[in-house]
Structure 1
Amino acid sequence: MSSIAKKRLNRELIGKFISFGIKLPKLNEAEQKQKIMEMNGMIDEMNKNDLDYVMSVTLFGDINELINHDKMTAENATLFFRNMGYFKLLFLITDESFDVSSLGDIFRRMIFKEKRRKEEKNEKLLIDLIECFLSMTMESETFPKDVYSYCVSSLLNVAQIKEENEEAQKEVEMALLALSNINKHCRVEKELYLNEVTEIIKYHQDHHNLTRLAYQSVWQFLGNRLDTDKSLNEVIVNELHFGKEAKRELEELSKCVNWKKEKENWKEQKEVSVMKRWINTISNMPLHYRTLKGKFDELICCLVKLCRASRNDEPELSDAIIKYFHRQVYLSIYDFSILESDILVLFLEDIQQSTLKKTISSESLELFLYISRGLEDDVQQKGTKEKALKREALEKFEEQGYEDIINSFRHMGKK
């Protein structure tokens, strides 16, 4: 289990948070605001398990009723959810309480109402509502197209702030974090974002003005778009150098982590959480190893090192890396160059790990057998070039001793 999973819930802090929430209906607007600010301070002290628990209780239904009956303003509602949504995305919490309680619908209505206001439109409130909705919801594809266009444009406007003071950086980080939660099923016209996103990434590469979470988030948003627009491949790989950037960020984050120390709160967990988000981004991009010769080699080496470093203390992170490599090898069966990497050695190490990780280990074992079968099969429909590559791959496989290992696994399976 990871250090986060091992940590017990802070019952005292959670109890205090819930008791404050129960008092909200009895307070006026100013008192509610003060109480919510205190609750946000409590969230700042929570770890992932604490926040996950808080989001599973019935507070959302109570807030739902308060807003519906005009007992909580839109400003106080955004104050309540903006900080919570930030940590929900940071910790990769997949809780659906926000949507189940109809709060998603309420926020949509508040966004529509503020967007259509002709006079005295509160742009700051509108941005905050958008950030709250996109960071809290699991159903980010439910907006009409014109509202999505407005959300993307508005958040990218915030993200283009160049000031490097802490307050400006946090505003940019919140905007890009919310933007990153627009999932790959949401079609966003390239004209709405590509120039702006490219500028944000290139400016950061030159000036390092973004936080690490903000930089990861803008890549995640761009990667989500790749699923429906393959033309972005050239921009991501060759113009913006995704492999190089992801490697550098993961190496820098890894230097900030004491793997042996149990991480007590979100500040200590943050670097690990951002690394997990990077692995998700890398995994979710439909980029295949065989199409990236020379482009991702250093990133692959970095991931292997990170997997080994995190194996004992952050197994969720190392398992995510192993699963990513599984998919890449399945997709690259006729590309022998992947056998030259340390990936297969990593699979062997995984198989030899504790039996507590039976699922991952069995997948690694099955992958070895898959590679062997794939290399041995005589595929008649393959051309001369493909057969030559396959023959070379099989020779490489045997040369590195993997065939003997596979035969021993097969022998063990017959017993």
Structure 2
Amino acid sequence: MHCVRKVTDDLYWVGANDKRLHLFESIHPIEDGVSYNSYLLMDEKTVLFDTADWSVGRQFCENVEYVLNGKPLDIMVINHLEPDHAASINEIILRYPDVKVVSTEKAWLLMNQFNFGVEEENFIMVKEGDTMKFGKHEVTFVAAPMVHWPEAMVTFDLTNGVLFSADAFGSFKSLDGALFADEVDFRNEWIDEARRYYTNIVGKYGPQVMALLKKASAIDIKMLCPLHGPVWRKDIPWLLDKYIHWATYTPEEKGVMIVYASMYGNTMNAAQILAAKLHEKGFHNVHMYDVAETHVSYLIGQAFKLSHIAILSVTYNLNVFPPMQNFIDDMKRLNMQKRVVGVVENGSWAPQAGTLICEELDEMKQMTVLNEQVSLLSAVNKMTADELDGLADSIIESMKQDY
């Protein structure tokens, strides 16, 4: 049975939700599922914007068939070739063999690599600035390379101001019957998952995202239709502001992320002491994470949000504790920058973690490492407790700078 929502005049959401997938891209936990969004325009020409992952292929195809209601499918615009949006291309072509597929030159290469079944005579290659008219609706295509694949583009409907934004402005979480961002409590219940989606999937490509945002600022966007998450028809400037922060690696707010690696509880105790001292001194936007218990994608999301990171790690085989090393490596891979960092190490006979962490932070852009570094020998004592107090003072003092 179909599950369809009307987006606006002539435009329908024909995507599907996946509540059974537990790992997005086989790496990121999605406890609340994910949506695969596809949109069908009913004009003089019928136009499908992207498809869906094959895991929801049956539902997606039923939705398309229902909206078409016996009409042929004329055009399929593919903004992004990643299989969670393109895997059903084959099935659409089998069902509607006369459909013309519209996308970029690089997308054509990827279509062949993935064996998506597109014949050359049915492919229409477009580039930035090209337009197509489907009846009363006319669209233009905007290149979005490395947001977050090289073939990506977005499509802007000049008639009604709808931007089909590919993976930009998306989010984890299943829609569960909702469609629009104003139908859910996005600012409280969705923003963390939208941030985690962006930072882990697209976060490395901040300059490319800013280039797309600059192009977007020149068009009169009335609605954002991403490939994951809700459609935006209100508060679009608020969402764009979030993206500007993320794409420029600018903290959203002043706050401290305390992330610790502890084998027997002593480094965890140091983290608790540091957090307590921050609260005692009147600073309360403090968030604590056990790096061994928290998936790194959540840690990355918080690192993009907050201005300060306190890293406390036990030394392990004369190196950084492996899950902490993974977090630091991920920050480097995603080009994390512009953060103030406090470092605390622990070791019983040869503490090395602090030195190694600082070396890695030095390789990252605009990362300020506070001088009040703390070295524990097995457990916190009176002297190191005082040093943690000094680190808390240093963190709070550094909050005076602007973001």
Which TM-score applies when normalising by structure 1? 0.29
User: Which structure shows the bigger proportion of residues in helix conformation?
Assistant: 1
Greater share of residues in strand: 2
Higher RCO (C-alpha under 8 Å, 6+ residues apart):
1
Question: TM-score scaled to structure 2, two decimals?
Answer: 0.30
